[in-house]
Amino acid sequence: MARIIGSMSASHVPAVGNAIARGLQEDPYWKPFFDGFTPAQKWLAEVKPDVAVVFSNDHGLNFFLDKMPIFAIGAAPSYPSADEGWGIPVNDPWPGIPPLSWHIANHVVEEEFDPVICQQMLIDHAVCLPMACFFEDCGRNKGYRPVKIVPVGINTVQFPMPSLKRCFEFGRAIGRAIESYPEDLKVVLIGTGGLSHQLEGERAGHLNKKFDTYCMDCIAGDPSPLLGLSNVDLVEQAGTAGLEFMNWMTMRGALLGEVREVTRTYHIPISNTAAAVQVLEQLPRLAAAAE
């Protein structure tokens, strides 16, 4: 049976792609950001996952304001990137694993979620850049692909949006689906985006270290205090783009057992964003005991 070995979370910022392309990892501005991934890279080298289920939000390559699904699941054999207009180099595709994607999709529909199933799907900086940072050789060699991926998209852009509670419960359904998949696979969950930031309006540049720290504490321990927050609460605390924390919350929901925090880093600002990295390891348990 497939098993979830843990999770990794990281901010996604388009400027990171340009920094990687220009080899700025040791630049004084960028070094604290990139150094934050070193413990995660060491953990990955130890656990060696086969598949990454990546929770992110689309920035216009697949969906736009005229058609924005609440949830989407990729079920493609491969996932190419494309030009988003940021000047980020376009990388080689990441391989998919359609049988697992369809297993997840069928399972969550049985649990009364209604995602869009994408048999063709582009991936943008929200997937490509965290993957290049976690799997360091992907940043050096754009054709290196150590895992297959299942992209899961969450609407953090256009109202109406799912609540943190709904995202968490969607994640629970995905976690149950993964752990009922019959193939022997090690699966890592990746949540991208956030943390606090706002790029427009009177509060442009808004950051909230206290709230970000609180959220990371809850992700590492008991996430239930976050379930009562409304999207308005989240915007007030984390800024409009801080709604991307939904991706982290969906990821956390998919961790069905007890977890141990392996590492976390927090650095501000990177391109007007509170940049964070967090790794959780799921402790061994009986999958049947999960809720």
Q: Read off the amino acid at residue 206.
A: H
DSSP assignment letter at 93: P
**Residue of 12, 107, 125, 206 marked active site:** 125
Cα-Cα-Cα-Cα torsion 231, 236, 239, 240, nearest 10 degrees, comes to 40
Give me the residues paired with residue 148 across strands. 51
CA–CA distance, 10 with 44 (Å, rounded to integer): 14
Q: Could you tell me if 54 and 190 are in contact, meaning their C-beta atoms sit under 8 angstroms apart?
A: yes
Is residue 103 among the annotated active site residues? Answer: no
Residue by residue, DSSP assigns 67-87 as: B--SEEEE--SEE-B---SS-
- Which entry of 12, 59, 103, 197 is annotated as an active-site residue? 197
In angstroms, the CA 114 to CA 110 distance is 9
Q: Is 206 a catalytic residue?
A: no
Residue 172 near residue 253 (C-beta atoms within 8 A): yes
Q: Which of 187, 188, 53, 58 is nearest to 116 (CA)?
A: 58
What's the one-letter identity of residue 204? A
Q: Which residues are part of the catalytic machinery?
A: 125, 197
